[in-house]
């Protein structure tokens, strides 16, 4: 059975450990590492049978699959160490793969796998299928609460605060590549959509800040020789307003699928 090591003990890392404790995640967790050791150990103390706290190097050595749940800035170094050890990586912060395409080359050279769960998005199997033919356009519109968007690099660069908005406002329009650079904690979904379809430079993204919104909403329209695909998602956030519950569920299901004899979907 595949063993997993978790890097990061925020909303996603904690949810995975709780899922293991509840029995909905059955793959063995060999350990967890975090940049904030003190708070990670405090959380582990609340678990009846917690995984071991490890250094990142120890974690990679004792696990078959490393699950990144710590943010895109850890991906380059983590991927290098993971692939050098011949282990596979699950990248939750899939947007980092757009900024660091060398990671894909490294995985290919070392014959390692990168798993990128669907996360907060549905319909990726349809987009992947369509990409085997001609796709004319992919347009994604994301609506999020202002609290989830405040402090994003794009807004800081523009000197914008969205907390004072009284009505919805478009705060970004551009490519998936640009969106992932400007909103790295918010639109990993756009990276997943772009990888499934026509790439980060042809996938168009709009981001709208909505005061009082209590869900992360995504609307995707794909057109091509297959016809037209329209996907709508309203995702309830976790304790972290930037992360939807469906994201955590997707990770758990992807991990379970690794050992399932029946693989469903494209």
Q: List the catalytic residues.
A: 218
Q: Between the CA of residue 245 and those of 89, 92, 119, what are the distances in Å? A: 21, 13, 9
Over its C-alpha atoms, the chain yields an Rg (Å, rounded) of 18
User: What is d(CA 240, CA 39) in angstroms, rounded to the nearest whole number?
Assistant: 16
Candidates 139, 123, 118; CA nearest to 223 is: 139
Classify 143 as helix, strand or coil: strand
Q: Which residues does 209 contact at the CB level (< 8 Å), separation at least 6?
A: 143, 144, 145, 146, 149, 162, 165, 168, 169, 171
CB count in 10 Å sphere of residue 216: 26
Tokens representing residue 125 in the block? 């199997």
Q: Where are the beta strands (DSSP E) in 69-179?
A: 88-91, 114-115, 135-145, 169-175
Q: Kindly report the backbone phi and psi dihedral angles of residue 238, in degrees, each rounded to the nearest multiple of 5, phi listed first.
A: -85, -165
Owner of token pair 């347009």 = 139
Is the CB of residue 145 less than 8 Å from the CB of residue 241? yes
């Amino acid at each position: 059975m595949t063993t997993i090591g978790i890097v990061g003990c925020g909303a996603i890392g904690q949810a995975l450990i709780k899922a293991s404790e509840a029995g909905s995640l059955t793959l063995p967790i060999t350990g967890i590492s975090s940049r904030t050791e003190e708070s990670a150990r405090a959380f582990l103390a609340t678990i009846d049978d917690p995984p071991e706290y490890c250094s990142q190097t120890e974690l990679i050595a004792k696990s078959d699959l490393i699950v990144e749940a710590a943010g895109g800035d850890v991906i380059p170094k983590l991927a290098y160490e993971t692939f050098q050890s011949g282990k596979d990586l699950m990248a939750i912060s899939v947007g980092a793969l757009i900024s660091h395409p060398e990671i894909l080359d490294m995985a290919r050279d070392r014959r390692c796998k990168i798993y990128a769960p669907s996360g907060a998005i549905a319909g990726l199997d349809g987009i992947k299928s369509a990409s085997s033919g001609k796709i004319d356009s992919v347009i994604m519109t994301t609506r999020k609460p202002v609290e989830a968007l405040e402090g994003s690099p794009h807004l800081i660069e523009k000197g914008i605060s969205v907390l004072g908005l009284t009505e919805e406002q478009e705060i970004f329009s551009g490519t998936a590549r640009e969106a992932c650079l400007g909103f790295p904690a918010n639109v990993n979904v756009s990276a997943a959509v772009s990888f499934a379809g026509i790439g980060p430079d042809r996938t168009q993204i709009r981001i709208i800040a909505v005061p009082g919104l209590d869900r992360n909403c995504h609307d995707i329209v794909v057109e091509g020789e297959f016809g037209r695909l329209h996907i709508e998602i309203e995702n309830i956030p976790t304790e972290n307003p930037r992360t939807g519950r469906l994201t955590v569920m997707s990770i758990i299901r992807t991990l379970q699928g690794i050992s399932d004899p029946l693989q469903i979907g494209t």
